A and B are shown apart, each in its own frame.
Chain A
């Protein structure tokens, strides 16, 4: 059961630089591990993460197997107007999850 944790300040003053913290639960199977039988465990990772702020993309990441399980990514943005952050994670085997958070800018 995939689930996201998002941390965005609920309120900010216009022009403030705010930190956005995100965590998506995911195994991030590297594809480099083997079963005792010698069979490789197929790769299953999140390959792409993006964040849109009022429909404008403000951050995007390409992820590789070297990103730890349950990818945790934090970054910054300038609070310009009240609205919504939309987050999207895309990965192997059709993995696709979204989450959103709102901010009030005064």
Chain B
């Protein structure tokens, strides 16, 4: 009885060990991720030397995301959208995906409402930033911290 029990335990131990060994090569492959410095550079590339103020922009993204492969995101900007005062473009950035840019959206006064929605990928829990450029070339921003439980498959082995 005792002998039988220990072989079973040995077998389970071996099986477990094999599973762990099999998983190791997947863990070792991790390409570089974007850094906050890359985020700052990407934002500079869009805004130049202009000052980016907080406000006017509303970034709607769930604070807790189960699946980073498809995260719904909506950006809206408080603007009358007239021919003299409108939103020229909306830019979305992230902090820790391999690349800091997510998308640039160009609109105009004819849009009527300064709002765009899309679905994005998030490779990690991180900050998402939206910046709007208005017709007077001022820049306004909003940011949201998102917690991701299952990261987007940007770096996995297939």
Contacts and interface: CB of A to CB of B under 8 A. Distances in A.
Interface of A: 17-18, 30, 32-36, 38, 41, 53, 58-69, 71-78, 80
Interface residues of B, number: 36
Contact of B154 (A30, A36, A59, A60): A30
A80 B111 contact: no
Contacts of B69: 68-69
Interface of B: 25, 29, 31, 69-71, 94, 97-99, 101-108, 110-113, 115-122, 153-158
Contacts of A35: 157-158
The secondary-structure label for the interface of chain A is: strand
Contact of A77 (B101, B102, B110): B110
B112 A65 contact: no
Contacts of B154: 30, 32-33, 65
A73 B90 CA distance: 13
Residue among B29, B31, B94, B112 with the highest chain A CB neighbour number at 10 A? B112
A60 B71 CA distance: 21
B111 A66 contact: no
20 contacts: A34-B157, A34-B158, A61-B106, A61-B116, A64-B103, A66-B103, A66-B122, A67-B102, A67-B119, A67-B120, A68-B120, A69-B69, A72-B117, A72-B118, A73-B117, A74-B116, A74-B118, A75-B117, A78-B110, A80-B110
A28 to B, nearest CB: 8
Contacts of A63: 103
Contacts of B121: 30, 65-68
Contact of B157 (A36, A59, A69, A80): A36
Contacts of B158: 33-36, 41
In order of increasing CB-CB distance, the 10 nearest A-B pairs are A17-B112, A68-B119, A78-B112, A76-B113, A62-B104, A66-B102, A68-B70, A60-B106, A74-B117, A64-B101
Contacts of B118: 67-68, 71-74
Contact of A59 (B31, B103, B106, B153): B106
